[in-house]
Amino acid sequence: MLNYAIRRSGQMLVTVLVISVIAFVVIQLPPGDFVNSYLATLSGGNIITQDAIIALRSQFGLDENVVVQYWRWFTNLLQGNMGISFQYQRTVIDLLGERLPLTLAITIPTAIFVYVVAIPIGIYSAVRQYSPMDYLLSFGGFIFLAIPNFLIAIVAIYVSYRYFGGSVGGLFSPEYELAPWSLGKALNMLQNMSLAILIIGTGGIAATMRVMRGMLLDELSQAYVETARAKGLSEWRLILKYPVRVAVSPVLSTIGFVLPALISGTEITATVLNIPTTGPLLLNAVRSQDMFLAASIIFVLSILTVIGTFISDLLLVWADPRIKL
Amino acid sequence: MIRTFAPTRRQFLKLGGAAASALAVSGLAGRAFAQASQYKEAPALAEMVAAGTLPPVDQRLPENPVVIEPFESVGTYGGHLRTGIIQNRGFQARSAWGPEPILRISRDGQAVEPNLAESWEYTNDGKTFVLHLRRGIKWSDGEPFNASGFDFWWNHVNLNASLSPAPMAQFTVQGEVPTFEMVDDYTVQWTFVAPHANLPALLAHGPGGTIPRYLPRHYLEQFHADFADEADLNGRVSAAGFSTWAELFNNRSNVQWLMPFDNPDMPTLLPFKLGRAMQLNVLVADRNPYYWKVDTEGQQLPYIDDVVLTNYESGEVRDAAVAAGEMNWVNTDTTFTNLPLYREGQERGSYAVKLWLTDRAAEHTIMFNHCAKDPVLRELYNDIRFKRAFSLALDRLQIAETVYLGFAVPSQLQMIPGSKWRNEDWVARDTEYDPDTANSLLDEIGLTTRDGQGIRQRSDGKPLVLNMDLPVDDPGSLSVAELIIEFMREVGITFNVRTIAREQIRALIDNNDMEVGIWVGDKCSDAMFPHSPEWHVPYLTTGWNVWGMPWAQWYASKGQQGEEPQGDAKKVQDLFDEMQITVDEARRLEIGNEILELNINNLWNIGDVGQVPIPVILGTNFKNYPEEGFTGFSWLGNYNYHIEQTYFEGGAWSGERG
């Protein structure tokens, strides 16, 4: 076990390093750099002189070659300095710190929500195959799988605006926006967040549910299930203890990806719902080539991904005794 | 009126005694005396004065505060101004609480009037520009405002290489940096090599200026390497997470986007000061208790209590929020094509949609690259007959109907209505829809051979294809471009439209790789044309003048880069040079007309339609704003309408929730 952990750590380190290089390079691949996109956003005519552009470039360090920029960024990173966001003129750590609590407050409940709902539904669907409930759940599953999250978000916003006169997106309704914290404000936030969680979660539920159902159906037709029944085990106990453990491995092997998704998995939906999570932050950073912000977030994501996959693998070993390290 | 005052001894003693007893009485009366002051203030501020946390209003205002004449009626205190920006582009909200420039644009947009400076003059054969500052103005923390703020900015920011690698270009004439002198506490002057005729207009506006030209040195010196103790400063820099003191200074002095967005501690002269920096997409600016203006009844401005600004992650989301009635003041980046949506939400949202005009003489300018790399295209694009043919082939009335719901007028890229340089003939020239003449002009050029589909062929045998690049997130120009494809097919030209991300367009323009460009035809106002005629003169290398970027590069680099323009293009650059040093109004009028005439004769820019209104969202009981007005970058939004004297009837917006 220890050997395995050491070997894995070495692999994770190499993976993270390679990802950081690739991310840094790719972010700068589109022609131009942040100064270009900064100028481009000044639609409406703010005029910057040529000298100011040269100044900006040298201020941001954009006039040096990529290797030097990367090295400087990376060494700073190891000292805990993630650099400055050109767009916001604040440190990256500041920006992430501001948005991270809210992001986690949405994505963690979403992740839990997804698994707590999807796995039992998937199991039920497989055990009661072809029952009316199964058809209903599968039908719903397909619909939510096919419709993108942001579209559901847009429809929700429209319905809320049109028929309920509700506020459009955001964490708080206008009357609570600036008010000091109170029970009413907390409830209002929970209300808006629940909508977000619901919308973000539906797609994930559908996918996981279908996978669970498919795998379990395979297992339920195996001989050992018959044997267990013959031996007198109660139906649900036997299902949960044996076939489910095997069927759940695809779900477990992808659970690792939940970790990075916790940070950035909501870009488009959060943009539509106007919730300031790290998702839109990353999206805008990449679009405007705000390279330190984008590269730092991706770096954090890659670390979380490799840790997440490691945890996945451990979970798999625990769940399925056939797998050896 | 001056009267000599020569009292007798008895009179003098009497006066002195009267004065002394008046002072004594006032001291005894204390609070009662203060309440009998000649100025009034907002109730919230009055409470703070009563609690002793703020000096009385008479001490906060200058001796002679600026008196603002309300647009319609004297206002009542109270209310929140609710506005929104998209993707954190702060300059969109620029006139929600400012700016307060040194000189300001007048209400009608045509003249420059005093603001922080009460007068200015040219001396020394016009080469020296002298500014006289108003006395008694205080920063939002109570410290006095005077010429030392200019001295700090000029000598330690503008000329400091770490903060400004190049001195501000607006202050240079013929490329030379002037000498600055702080004559006394309220007078400053700059001496140039030739009269800087555009300086008053530039001081009222500020293109390219992310730094206002005065700074509160009493606050900022602690962040500046010239003044702060080195160890202290380095400590501050690392505590804040920055790597150089310049980064810290920029962050603390709120230089981004011309607006105070980040640092609530930074003193300001604006009617509102930052109360809560942008946090989870909401920012609040509170009333500035030291604001130096009053209304005609002595009430200290502003009337409105605060400004609540929300950042939206995308334009569509903001439009939905507008329609849901969440804002009561929006007048930038509204999309005309969403007008039905805005109108639909008016009643429930307690706002009204006004249709104001912008500084766009033409909604779009279509520009052929006169320095195109392809020699065949280059020759074509420089041929006036080709451009006239293109212009005549555009069915502008159809563009007006289809894209702008009929709210547009065919127009070349000249000047907006009301401008002193507007010439109705030039505006309308070649704007009629005449595909027959277009076809005959193209035949005349020699593009007579056509292929099987009727597409004309170039002199080298290839089909005539025009490639236009436009930004992917601009639905207006895309709609127009799609119509142009149809129009061009009628005259046998293939028009190819490519949408690319805004960020990439810059790179294409800089490398002279764009063949045909399209952009908004803005800056055609009296406030901007004299100093920034981006479409009419090829001088700006950082702009979007696809039609002559190498010419602009040649001009800006004094011949080191780019390509030298010939004939009219060179002439127009010379005229621009002359405009910059000509103070005489009559001659300036002539120069402007000459520039515009050369433009219409060469059609470097082809305009489509003009006078397209922009939807402006204002709360239903929001007062003291014009029913019809202008808004746009030329007026930094619409600051000339004096946001500080606006108010909500009844003291709050009728659409407030909760």
User: Which CATH number fits the domain that encloses residue A232?
Assistant: 1.10.3720.10
> Is A321 within a domain?
no
Across the interface, whether the CB atoms of B280 and A98 are under 8 A apart is answered yes
pLDDT at B306: 92
pLDDT at B209: 42
Average pLDDT over residues B261-272: 85
Average pLDDT over residues B164-187: 85
Interface confidence (ipTM) of the complex: 0.75
- Name the residue among B515, B511, B517 with its Cα closest to residue B550: B511
Q: Does residue A266 register a pLDDT over 80? A: no
Q: How far is CA B200 from CA B122, B127, B323, B520, B579, in A?
A: 11, 14, 40, 26, 14
User: Same domain for A48 and A113?
Assistant: no
Residues near B628 by beta carbon (within 8 Å), at least 6 away in sequence: B354, B355, B356, B357
Strand partners, B606: B366
Are B523 and B533 in contact, with CB atoms under 8 Å apart?
Answer: yes
Across the interface, whether the CB atoms of B541 and A42 are under 8 A apart is answered no
> Is A324 within a domain?
no
pTM score, two decimals? 0.80
Going by DSSP bridges, is the β-strand pair B112-114/B351-356 parallel, antiparallel, or unpaired?
unpaired
Report how many domains make up chain B. Answer: 3
Q: Does residue B17 register a pLDDT over 60? A: no
Of the partner residues B240, B506, B523, the one whose CB lies closest to the CB of residue A39: B506
Residue B471: half-sphere exposure toward Cβ, Cα within 13 Å: 20
Q: Does residue B269 register a pLDDT over 70? A: yes
* Peptide linkage before B216 cis (omega within 30 of 0): no
Q: Which residues of B fall within a CB distance of 8 Å from A178?
A: 282, 284, 308
Of the partner residues B88, B241, B503, the one whose CB lies closest to the CB of residue A88: B88
B541/chain A closest Cα distance in angstroms:
7
pLDDT at B385: 94
Across the interface, whether the CB atoms of A274 and B312 are under 8 A apart is answered yes
Q: Which residue has the higher pLDDT, A251 or B13?
A: A251
Q: Which residue has the higher pLDDT, A300 or B356?
A: B356
Across the interface, whether the CB atoms of A271 and B314 are under 8 A apart is answered yes
Q: Does residue B24 register a pLDDT over 50? A: no
Q: Which residues of B fall within a CB distance of 8 Å from A288?
A: 503
Average pLDDT over residues B6-24: 53
Report how many domains make up chain A. Answer: 2
Residue B321: half-sphere exposure toward Cβ, Cα within 13 Å: 30
Closest alpha carbon within chain A to B528: A45
Are B326 and B282 in contact, with CB atoms under 8 Å apart?
Answer: no
Across the interface, whether the CB atoms of A161 and B324 are under 8 A apart is answered yes
Q: How far is CA B610 from CA B8, B397, B438, B470, B520, in A?
A: 73, 11, 22, 19, 11
Q: Does residue B282 register a pLDDT over 50? A: yes
Across the interface, whether the CB atoms of A45 and B88 are under 8 A apart is answered no
pLDDT at A1: 74
Task: Rank A168-182, B322-336, B607-621 by mean pLDDT and report only the highest.
Answer: B607-621
User: Same domain for B549 and B629?
Assistant: no
User: Same domain for A163 and A261?
Assistant: yes
Q: Which residue has the higher pLDDT, B478 or B165?
A: B478
Q: Does residue A46 register a pLDDT over 50? A: no
Closest alpha carbon within chain A to B321: A168
How confident is the prediction for chain A on average, in pLDDT?
80
Q: State percent of chain A over pLDDT 90.
A: 1
Average pLDDT over residues B221-232: 90
> Is A313 within a domain?
no
Quick: pLDDT tens for B549-580.
Answer: 999 999 988 888 889 998 999 999 999 999 99
State which amino acid sits at residue A303.
I
> Is B16 within a domain?
no
How confident is the prediction for chain B on average, in pLDDT?
86
Across the interface, whether the CB atoms of A280 and B313 are under 8 A apart is answered yes
Confidence class of residue B412 from pLDDT cuts 50, 70 and 90?
very high
User: Which CATH number fits the domain that encloses residue B327?
Assistant: 3.40.190.10
Of the partner residues A43, A52, A87, the one whose CB lies closest to the CB of residue B166: A52
Q: Does residue A125 register a pLDDT over 70? A: yes
User: Same domain for A117 and A55?
Assistant: no
User: Same domain for A163 and A38?
Assistant: no
Taking residue A289's Cβ as centre, other Cβ atoms within 10 Å add up to 23
Q: Which residue has the higher pLDDT, A46 or A91?
A: A91
Q: Which residues of A fall within a CB distance of 8 Å from B321?
A: 167-170, 274
Average pLDDT over residues B399-411: 91
User: Same domain for B602 and B620?
Assistant: no
Q: How far is CA A205 from CA A110, A111, B206, B484, in A?
A: 10, 9, 54, 47
A278/chain B closest Cα distance in angstroms:
11
Which residue, among B259, B278, B317, B518, would best test binding to A if mutated, counting the most A CBs under 10 Å from its CB? B317
Which residue, among B280, B513, B555, would best test binding to A if mutated, counting the most A CBs under 10 Å from its CB? B280
Token pair recorded at residue A207: 């996918």
Confidence class of residue B9 from pLDDT cuts 50, 70 and 90?
low
Residue with tokens 């092997």: A253
Lowest mean per-residue pLDDT among A163-177, A235-249, B43-57, B569-583: A163-177
Sign of CA dihedral B499, B504, B507, B509: positive
pLDDT at B96: 75
Domain that holds residue A145: 95-287
Average pLDDT over residues A264-276: 76
Q: Does residue A76 register a pLDDT over 70? A: yes
Closest alpha carbon within chain A to B279: A98
> Is A238 within a domain?
yes
pLDDT at A38: 64
User: Same domain for A104 and A65?
Assistant: no
* Distance separating alpha carbons of residues B448 and A52, to the nearest angstrom: 48
User: Same domain for B451 and B553?
Assistant: yes
B637/chain A closest Cα distance in angstroms:
10
A-to-B residue pairs, Cβ atoms closer than 8 angstroms: 168
Across the interface, whether the CB atoms of B317 and A272 are under 8 A apart is answered yes
Taking residue A315's Cβ as centre, other Cβ atoms within 10 Å add up to 17
Q: Which residue has the higher pLDDT, B39 or A189?
A: B39
Q: Does residue B496 register a pLDDT over 70? A: yes
User: Same domain for B170 and B293?
Assistant: no
Q: Which residues of A fall within a CB distance of 8 Å from B82?
A: 174
Domain that holds residue B293: 37-86+270-354+615-658
Across the interface, whether the CB atoms of A45 and B534 are under 8 A apart is answered yes
Quick: pLDDT tens for A54-64.
Answer: 766 776 677 77
pLDDT at B54: 92
Q: Which residues of A fall within a CB distance of 8 Å from B532?
A: 47
**Residue B118 parent element (H or E):** strand B117-123
